[in-house]
Amino acid sequence: MTEISLHKPYPAAEVAKWDYETDVAVIGFGATGACAAIEAATAGAKVMLFDRNSGSGGASALSGGEIYIGGNGGTDAQRAAGFEDRTEDFAAYLKAAGGPCADEAKCDLYARESLNHYEWLKAQGVPYRGNYLPGKVIEPTDDSTLIWSGSEQAEPFRSLAKPAPRGHVIQHMGWGGGRPLVDILEASARKLGVDIVVDARAVALIRDGDTICGVVMRIDNENRFIKANKGVVLATGGFVMNEDMRRRYCPETFKINSPIGDKDDGSGIELGIGAGGDAVHMEQFFTTCPWTIPEPQAYGVFVNEAGQRFINEDCYHGRVSRFAFDQLGRRVYLLLDMAHFDQPLELAGISIAGTGETWEEVEQELEMAAGTLSQTMAFYNKHAAEGKDPLFHKQQPILTPLDQGPFVALELNFEHSYFSFFTLGGLRTSTDGEVLDHTGAPVPGLYAAGRCTSGLPAWGHGYSSGMSLADCTFFGRQAGRKAASA
């Protein structure tokens, strides 16, 4: 008898008894799985939705519930705030954000369909207050809708696509909108009669000839054989919680210490690979250390251990953090003057490394050679006073002289600070959510979406908030609908 394994589909011929039969089996009950289930059920399919936890949520429920939306002239919230957002600009931004890993077909499709997707989310019951919150915020601390959530206004993005804020946040007081977002999607799925089974972990796909036709679920310590006549949708998340997979595919992440996820052990990726699926861009990851909180800190300047700037700091906090990660040495410094210093967020693990009445004194306190940090700041301040950043083209108002002493250098330390991270690589899928094999052909019966795939947020240096949930919800829907149509 064939072994039950993540790494090899179990032969349907060896299934002694099917415990359950459905049309579409969805594995994973975060936002991706919920959206897949809703669409499959809407299309008339019988759907079973499984999660290894005792309820819905996944990594989506740990998020801010922010979704990257725009194009087609803009959403209600964008237009009310005076932002026209053309589809071409939206697509161009998505591609620039995907960098060398961009899936152009996914970017183009999502740019075209994003407004319809927004309407769909509202139709599920997701509330949006509809207002715009300006400034540099990670998530709204009130219940606002629209924020700048990427590097749209920063170079090189502003030169590639006309900037617009596109982070659309569920109406929810304070951080943590991901949980209510999933709750609403869950209610929608339940209303449609989706059969939800929790405390159920996928342990193998089942294959009949070349076609995935079911899944073995571990429920109550027993293997249960689920027949899925139309297919299986993987919605299991990334692999940030699997150290062995990280060592093999994404070993750079061992430089930092705060994985975020919810049992994101890569099991869906392994199931997909075992069925012949191709996994791509597995080395990519998102990281951020929340250095823009409190907001005055967003006006700071970063230098590496050599006292050099390395990025226009008006980029998205995660892009800045990702470039910080790339610097040689163990830390980078965030430089602030008294006009912009405030106590850093406790959670961030950011410490005060040096202070001084002048930048020369700060430099000395950090034991940097004379004429490094101090020169960097003299040059920066001189040009910032004229509204210029000749090195990295940072823009006003974030571009401002830091000359109101005393001065402070905050340390973001790769080992000790809170560099949260999650993986971005995964199964290669079509725009319809079909898992593709190494020839680019679909693996029959197998679909996937969200962070067990490589999607819109393909490149760590270009990530913007809301991109992953956009990818999860939109391509989750695509996968569910395609499976139901099989």
Applying CB under 8 A, which residues contact a second copy?
A: 5-8, 100-101, 248-249, 251-252, 254-255, 270, 273-274, 276, 278, 280-283, 306-309, 311, 326, 328, 368-369, 371-372, 375, 379, 383, 390-392, 428, 437-439
Minimum distance, C-beta of residue 3 to a second copy, in the bound complex (Å): 10
- Judged by beta carbon, residue 24 or residue 282, the one nearer a second copy is 282
Pick the closer one to a second copy by CB: 258 or 372: 372
Pick 148 or 325: Cβ nearer a second copy: 325
Q: Whole-angstrom Cα distance, residue 444 to residue 212?
A: 6
Please choose, from the candidates 339, 327, 281, 300, the residue with its C-alpha nearest in 3D space to the C-alpha of residue 419.
327
How many Cα atoms sit within 13 Å of 208 on the Cβ side?
A: 14
Q: Which is nearer to a second copy, 173 or 370 (CB)?
A: 370
In the complex, minimum distance from the CB of residue 63 to a second copy, in angstroms, rounded to a whole number: 26
Minimum Å distance from CB 309 to a second copy?
8
Q: What gap in Å lies between CA 329 and CA 440, rounded to an integer?
A: 40
- Looking at the Cβ atoms of 147 and 368, the one nearer to a second copy is 368
Residue 191 CB, nearest distance to a second copy (Å)? 39
Minimum distance between the CB of residue 339 and a second copy, rounded to whole angstroms?
24
State in angstroms the smallest separation of the CB of 244 from a second copy. 8
In this complex, which beta carbon is closest to a second copy, that of residue 210 or of residue 342?
A: 210
Nearer of residues 56 and 327 to a second copy, judged by Cβ: 327
Least Å distance between CB 385 and a second copy? 14
List the one residue out of 451, 433, 454, 453 whose CA is nearest residue 442.
433
Looking at the Cβ atoms of 114 and 321, the one nearer to a second copy is 321
> What is the rounded CA–CA span in Å between residue 69 and residue 456?
12
| 391 Cα distance to chain centroid | 29
- Smallest distance from a second copy to CB 270, Å: 6
Report the half-sphere exposure of 275 (CA within 13 A, side-chain side).
41
- Residue 172 C-beta: closest distance to a second copy, Å: 37
Closest approach, Cβ 414 to a second copy, in A, equals: 12
**Bridge-partner residues for 408, per DSSP?**
336, 355
CA distance 291 to 410: 10
Nearer Cβ to a second copy (134/251):
251
Q: Between residues 4 and 184, which has the closer beta carbon with respect to a second copy?
A: 4
Complex with a second copy: residue 37 or 311, whichever CB lies closer: 311
Structure tokens that stand for 57 in this block = 């949520």
Contacts of 315 (CB under 8 A, 6+ apart): 151, 154
Least separation, in Å, of the C-beta of 388 and a second copy? 8
